[in-house]
Amino acid sequence: MVTTATPSTIPVGIVGFGWMGRVHAQAYARIRHHFPQLTAFPQLVAIADEVGDRAAAAAAQFGVDSVVTDWRDLVADPSIRAVSVTAPNFVHREIGTAVVEAGKHLWIEKPVGLTAADARAVADAARRAGVQTAVGFNYRNVPAVESARAMIAAGEIGEITHARFRLFSDYAAHPDGALSWRFQRARGGNGVLGDLASHGADLVWFLLGDIDSLVADTATFIDQRPEPTGATAGHQLATGGVRGPVENEDYVGAQLRMASGARCVLEASRVAVGDQNSYGFEIHGTAGIIRWDYRRMGELEVGRGGQYQDQPVSTVFVGPGSGDYVAFQPGAANPMGYDDLKVIEAVRFLTATESGAPTGGATIDDAVRAAEVLDAMVASVTEGRWISPTPVGVG
C-alpha cells in the first residue's frame, strides 16, 4: 500500500467581492487541480463585502460559512492565515496595513493605494510583521513573457535599444459608463495610471530593468459620466443618471530612459474605442526583436540571428518548458487564459506563506516600484519636465 502525507489547509479570507474578488476565489479553488503536488492548499473560509447580499450570494456559491459586511471582523478572525484584498484603491492602504499588522499574509490587487506613499506604508508594515505578500501584476506570470525575459537576459536579441509597451482598452469608452469610484481622484487615484499603466510599469521593469528618468503626458477625454443608482461591479453603464465630473485620467503616454541606456515608450488608455484588452510590447535589440500580444497569450514573435537588415520574424508557441505552462496544458499552442494567470499568482503567494520567502511572484516591493513610476509620471505632467522615479525603499 502506498501512503501519502495529508496536505495541510491554509484558511483564507477575501475582502471585497466584485469581479476581482470572484477571480481570487476561483483561483484559490483551482490550485488543487493544477498544482496537486503542493503540501498545503487554501480553504476560503470568510468573505467581507459592504454589500451584504453580494457577499452572501458569493458565499453560497463557494461554500463559505462566514460572511461579514465589515472587513475588520474578517481581519480580527484568528483562524485566518492569509487575506486577499480586492477592494477599491482608496482603501488599499488602510486594509492592507491592518491585514499584515494582524500577522496575516497579504495578497492585494494593484496599484496598492493611490500613491507610492500608500504602497510604501503597506510594504513597511509587512516588513515589520514578517509576513509574505503578493500583488496582482498577473501579466508577468504569462509563460511567454517569462520566456521573453529569459531570451533578453541571454542576449538572444543583442543589447536592448528601444521598446514600446501598450495597454489599450475600451472599458471606459462609453460616455454612459457609470461614474464609479474609478473616476474620482480621492477614491480611484490617477485613473488609467493605476488601472493599466501600473501593469505597464511592472512589465517594463520585469523585462528591461530600472527606469532612469521619464517624461509624461495625460488627458481626460470624457469629462462627465452618469452617476450610478446602486452598487457597481466591473464597468457598468448608468444610462440616464445625473451626470457628474470625471476627475482623473483616461490616457497616459510616457517616454522612458532606461538605466541600461535603452529608450522606451509606455502608453495606456481606458477609452481606446476598438481595442479590447490590447496589451503587449515590442522590444528591439541590436540583433533582433521580440513582440508579444496578450490576446495571443501563448505566442511570441521573435526575430534573431544576426542578419540585421531584412531579418525574418517567426512565431514561437511556448509550451511546457516555459514558466508554469505545464500545470495547465500538455503541449505548445494550447491556449491559457486570464484566470490561469491568477491561479499562478495565487500558488506563488501561498507557496511563499509556507516557505517563508518570496517564490517568484510580484510582491509589495514591486508595487512600491511601480507606484514610484506612476508618481513620477504625475510629477512630470505637473512640472513639464523629465523626472527620475524614486528608487524602492527611498523616500
With residue 25 as reference, give the H or E element that holds it.
helix 19-34
pLDDT band at 5 (very low <50, low <70, confident <90, very high): low
Residues 6+ apart with CB under 8 A from 296: none
- Is there a contact between 5 and 37 (Cβ–Cβ < 8 Å)? no
pLDDT in tens, 23-68: 999 999 999 999 999 999 999 999 999 988 888 999 999 999 999 9
- Predicted confidence at residue 162, as pLDDT, reads 98
What mean pLDDT, rounded, does the chain reach? 94
Q: What is the mean pLDDT of residues 172-177?
A: 95
Q: At what angle do helices 19-34 and 52-62 cross, to 10 degrees?
A: 10
Number of Cβ within 10 Å of residue 367's Cβ equals 33
How confident is the model at residue 315, as a pLDDT? Answer: 98
Element (H, E) at 149: helix 143-153
What region does 310 belong to: left with phi over 0, alpha with psi -120 to 50, or beta?
Answer: left
Percent of the chain with pLDDT over 90: 89
CATH number, span 143-296+298-336: 3.30.360.10
Query: Vertex 171, ends 167 and 174: CA angle to 5°?
Result: 130
165 forms bridges with which residues in the sheet?
A: 266, 281
pTM of the entire structure? 0.94
By C-alpha distance, which of 260, 256, 254 is closest to 160? 260
Structure confidence by residue, pLDDT tens digits, 179-219: 998 999 999 999 999 999 999 999 999 999 999 999 999 99
Which three cell numbers mark 251?
A: 490616457
Residues of the chain with CATH 3.40.50.720: 8-138
Quote the longest CA-to-CA distance of the chain.
72
Terminal CA-to-CA distance of the chain, rounded, Å? 60
Single out the residue of 131, 130, 32 nearest to residue 85, CA to CA: 131
Q: Give residue 237's pLDDT.
A: 87
The arrangement of secondary structure in 8-138, i.e. its CATH architecture, is 3-Layer(aba) Sandwich (3.40)
Confidence category of residue 230, pLDDT binned at 50, 70, 90: low
Q: What is the per-residue DSSP string for 204-245?
A: HHHHH--EEEEEEEEE-S--EEEPPSS---SS-B-TTSPEEE
Q: Where in the chain is the domain with CATH 3.30.360.10?
A: 143-296+298-336
Confidence class for position 236, pLDDT limits 50, 70, 90: confident
pLDDT of residue 91: 97
